[in-house]
A and B are shown apart, each in its own frame.
Chain A
Amino acid sequence: MNVDLKEQLKQHSGLAAIYDEALADIAAAAAEVELGAARVRHLGRKSRLSRLLRAIPEMPASERPLAGKLGNQVRAALEEELVVRWQALESAELEKRLEQERVDITLPGEPLAGGRMHLITQTLWEIEDIFTGLGYRIAEGPEVETDYYNFTALNTPEGHPARSLHDTFFIKGKEGVLLRTHTSPVQVRVMEKEDPPVYVIIPGRVYRRDSDATHTPMFHQVEGLAVDEHITMADLKGTLESFAKAMFGAERQVRLRPHFFPFTEPSVEVDVSCMICGGKGCRSCKHSGWLEILGAGLVDPNVFGFVNYNPDEISGFAFGMGVERIAMLKHGVTDLRMFYDNDLRFIKQF
């Protein structure tokens, strides 16, 4: 409300009455329709204000300036008041409409397309990312292999007792051709092609002729190989410790136990402190506090001999892990075969 105008209107009772009445009507309008009616009534051609303004030329000259000035001020003030009221009514009506449009926000959202990657792929990528972060490249190689790369060049000649540990699938009609039993043959292929330093990991499918609750005829391995000047057992230990902490948590410990593999010397098995019980001992770790996660060792000089590396100038370590085992330990999967049943209820969990 215009206080100044109110004061001035004390000089003109007629306009004051028109103004007050119009203001009251505008304020009382409860909807846009009523506001429209108020506009017609108070500002329309037939309104008292319009009639008064039209009658000004007939007024005595002394009254004309005041009436004209105040009349126009009243009109302007009322127009403004109408706009203000209009906006107020409009937003109130919008609010009311929006209020009526409310939905049950607890209903599900639009189910956008989205699938999951297989847990093995997720685990493989996680392993790959850890080692690429440590400076390794990823090497790949054939799954249908020759016994030269799968065994012989890995210091496992024909008749070697370690060959009997592998249940190997052979290819019909091709002498000495088989499904690789580990991704280690790619080690040899990489070293044949490249000079040291070599830092690679080798993920991939491998095959063994074994199928029961704890074996599937196909599974996944990640092999690692580092060959350089002055590579030591201590480097192997530190590398695998970094891996175990990145994969299973910063508080994990690693321990090496001597073991035997034909293509490494010395050979070790690597345990990580049990992530389920924190090392205190539980069913999963057979109450030892340790879980075996991979096999490793320093590359046997005989393997270097097969690829014409000089074991007096360089040394290296290699390790190999089963991806399924890592995934099972990390995610608590209890049945290996579920990875290859490909039941979507399983796949969508991860």
Chain B
Amino acid sequence: MKVPISWLKEYVDIDLPVEELAERLALTGTAVERISHVGLPAAGGNLDRFVVGRVVSIEPHPNADRLALCRVETGPETAQIVCGTRNFREGDRTAVCLPGGMLPDGRRLEAAEIRGVRSEGMMCSESELGLAAKSAGIMILPEDAPVGARLADYLPVSDEVLELEITPNRPDCLSVYGVAREVAAVTGARLKAAPVRDIKPRGDDNIEELVNISVSGPDLCPRYGARLIAGVRIGPSPAWLKARLIAAGLRPVNNVVDITNYVMWTLGEPMHAFDLAGIAGRQLTARSAVKGEEITTIDGVRRRLAPGMPVIADGEKPVAIAGIMGGRDSEVAAGSTDILLEAANFDGRSIMEASMALSLRSESSTRFEKGLDQELVLQALAMASRLITMIAGGRLVPGQYDIQAKPFEAGVIHLRPHRVAALLGAEVPAAEIRTILTKLGFKVKKEGAGLHAGVPSFRADVEREVDLVEEVARVFGLQLIPPSLPSGMRAMGGLSWEQACRRRLVQMLAGRGLNEVITYSFIGLDFADRLRLGESDIRRDAARLANPLSAEQSQMRTLMLPSLLMTVSANLAQRNFDVNIFEVGRVYYPVKGERLCDERETVAGCLCSFLQGQSWRGNTRGPDFFTGKGLVEALFKELAGSCSVRRTKEPFLHPGKAADIIVSGSRIGYVGEVHPLVLRAFDIDRPVVAFELFLGELIASSSEIAVFEDLINFPASFQDIAVVVDEDTPAAEIIAVVREAGAPLLHNVRVFDFFTGSQVGPGKKSIALNLEFRSPQRTLTDAEVDSARALIVRALDERLKASLRL
């Protein structure tokens, strides 16, 4: 909301510097986005260089046919000015820029010789003064303009503008007068009366004879007011009006339209002016649109209306989308003479929904959708009638329409002073509470220990005691509230076990050389095909967005992998080749019959470079399946949990170098090399190892408290064995047999060598194990260890046909 200071000062007596005013407003709840300057620059006495002049004489320029040589009275002096246009006559008042004056566009005017004749100034056009985008000739001022006076004292040609951010609960401040009331309350300055003094109608006809207006559906339109002004002359607005509208960021159109906008900006009540000649059947109804209705709005767009949208219709068709935009057929334009003025109160929600459905927002709709004060209807009609008859002529036809379903009733709220202190933590004196509320327009009455506050019609947002407390607090000053901490704090803070575990995993992965990324939770529709997911893969069934920003962000991910592969790909494209990344985020599974998704916290990573940085001493091995598996095992080890693996069927992984991760019999994720076709689908030109694990299950597999085991007092015995088995016997099976046979003395089994080839013969492999035997109660004897080892060897032979290698 742009509020020119000169306009504001019409309604409130303030002389604070604008920066101080802005600060005061900001600290009492009206955010000031910026203070801008419009029109002529004010610094350095520039405004003294622009005066009202009077053309004394016009003669031809001796050396140029198209130029005129004018003598212009600019006060005690008379200036000689060479002028290029001739749209004025002797005696006209004009706006004169004297040498040294700077125009809004930054040009500085100096006295100059023009075709051999000295010119000591310039007569300005409206566009040169910033009052119009384009103008045909110089600006002619009214007869009453005082010759020699500063132009700025006569016209608002230079102004400071407060650009305010008005919160949606305060539509009353979407008006200069509303802001003036707020300024008066927070600065203590005197508020002047609103400019709504009415005028007398003329004539012996009556609006009710000339046009028939009705409201069908008071839900859509709680109040509808209308007046008729006959015999106006449509033309451009006077300079002061144009200057004000431009300063407020509005575009001048013609005098009548400009006045309706001016009234809206002043009072906050949007108005509409119809050309009576464009209204079929001399009949208007406020109703909701019916199926199939259309309208061409004043912006020239043909719009289809949906049933339920509020419209104003004449005898045949909608002539305005109520509260949003008028129709072109009844638009006030050159030649209009009889004007039907509308000031109404439309239902905020209906306006908002229609405006959203039509994707059409206007200054009017943004006001109505917040819910406006019904009492503004008659005030706006009075102010507009006065201005139109004054500026555009014509007469106010006797009578008016004021159709209201239910008159306004002021609410009364009881305020207990102790509640103010209890909520704010600071005492506000009762007298001050009364003063603040009165200044804000509340009718305050003492009532026992507290008070009754009558809520003014323009503050429908105030409904409860706590709302009054807020009003008191913001005007009293939040800076006067002393800081404290909650006094009764009995709660215990900290992370939960799961939250602490999550942090440890993140730190562990970063410590192992992976960089954390945070990717969007959405993915594209094509992700399933790029990952080669089967037609019936449940992960194709993702939660889709009804209104995505793009196809690439159109559904909630069911796998982390696509987000990570895209990140790998983007980094490689940027020539960041050192890509090892991980993310902790969620995947989202829709659940049949449930509104919410099953959201699973997931840790996932992609490796495609050396975990240890490249050294001048030569490289370590690049990542492969076992690097990924080692990392997954490290994740479990970090939390003292454990997992097993199973060959995976994931279509996006290498069928031979990938595994499902199993915890207590159920699958909680995978690790493996990504399938080359998937890499190709993501434009990745090198191998990638990926893993993805459900965090909840990973953490649940862990043990919260580690229990002591005596590993110090009774030393272990170590034995190595190497066995040859069939090549397709999994190492895990060998270890399982060893563990079972070696129990209870076998404490640990470690694979320290593995090979296939000519040494062991075709179809065979050799695996060497280091066995750790120990007892927590005693030191084992050689005989005990030997017999345990013998049991292991026998079991391997019997169950796996494993032969001992010597």
Contact = CB atoms under 8 A, between A and B. Distances in A.
Which of B371, B506, B517, B574 is most buried by chain A, counting CB atoms within 10 A of its CB? Answer: B517
Interface stretch (A8-16, A18-26, A73-81, A228-236): A228-236
Contacts of B617: 110
Interface residues of A, number: 91
A234 B576 contact: no
Contact of B509 (A112, A115, A142): A115
Interface stretch (A40-48, A94-102, A337-345): A337-345
Interface string A202-242: 00010101010000011000000010111111110111011
B599 A142 contact: yes
Contacts of A136: 491, 493
Interface string B576-616: 10111110011010000001110100000000000111111
B512 A111 contact: no
Contacts of B582: 115
A250 interface: no
Nearest to A269: B31
B495 A232 contact: no
Contact of A176 (B29, B499, B595): B595
B659 to A, nearest CB: 23
A113 B515 contact: no
A177 B617 CA distance: 57
Contact of B481 (A134, A237, A257): A237
B170 interface: yes
B473 A258 contact: yes
A69 interface: no
Contacts of A169: 545-548
Given A137-B493, A144-B597, A267 B506 contact: no
B425 A171 contact: no
Contacts of A179: 545, 556
Interface in A161-177: 161-162, 164-165, 169-174, 176-177
B466 interface: yes
Interface in B360-381: 369-371
A238 B597 contact: no
B494 A115 contact: no
A218 B521 CA distance: 8
B596 A233 contact: no
A233 B481 contact: yes
Contacts of A173: 544, 546
A217 B576 contact: no
B651 to A, nearest CB: 26
B294 interface: no
B479 interface: yes
B597 A344 contact: no
Interface stretch (A27-35, A51-59, A82-90, A124-132): A124-132
Nearest to B370: A161
B488 A230 contact: yes
Interface string A92-123: 00000000000000011011111111101100
A165 B55 CA distance: 55
B203 interface: no
Interface string B500-525: 00010011011111111111111000
A230 B422 contact: yes
A54 B371 CA distance: 129
B597 A343 contact: no
B270 to A, nearest CB: 15
A270 to B, nearest CB: 10
Contacts of A113: 511-513, 611-613
- Range for the number of chain B residues in contact with chain A: 35 or more
Contacts of A257: 26-27, 29, 31, 478
B597 A142 contact: yes
Contact of A233 (B425, B545, B571): B425
Contacts of B574: 343, 345
Given A217-B553, A258-B29, A118 B517 contact: yes
B546 A170 contact: yes
Contact of A138 (B481, B496, B576, B599): B496
B732 interface: no
A187 interface: no
B529 interface: no
Nearest to A158: B349
Contacts of B546: 169-173
A107 B616 CA distance: 9
A171 B543 contact: yes
B190 to A, nearest CB: 23
Nearest to A271: B26
Interface string B473-490: 110001101111111111
Contacts of B646: none
A341 B570 CA distance: 8
B507 A146 contact: no
Contact of A115 (B26, B490, B515): B515
Contacts of A226: 486
A234 B510 contact: no
Contacts of A341: 570
A228 B684 CA distance: 55
26 contacts: A111-B613, A113-B613, A115-B582, A116-B510, A116-B516, A118-B518, A133-B493, A143-B588, A144-B596, A162-B169, A164-B356, A170-B547, A172-B545, A176-B595, A179-B556, A205-B521, A217-B553, A218-B520, A233-B423, A233-B473, A237-B483, A258-B27, A258-B470, A260-B167, A260-B168, A266-B466
Given A121-B516, A161-B168, 18 more contacts: A108-B616, A118-B518, A134-B493, A142-B599, A144-B543, A164-B352, A169-B546, A197-B491, A199-B493, A230-B488, A237-B483, A237-B484, A238-B483, A259-B167, A265-B469, A266-B469, A344-B515, A348-B515
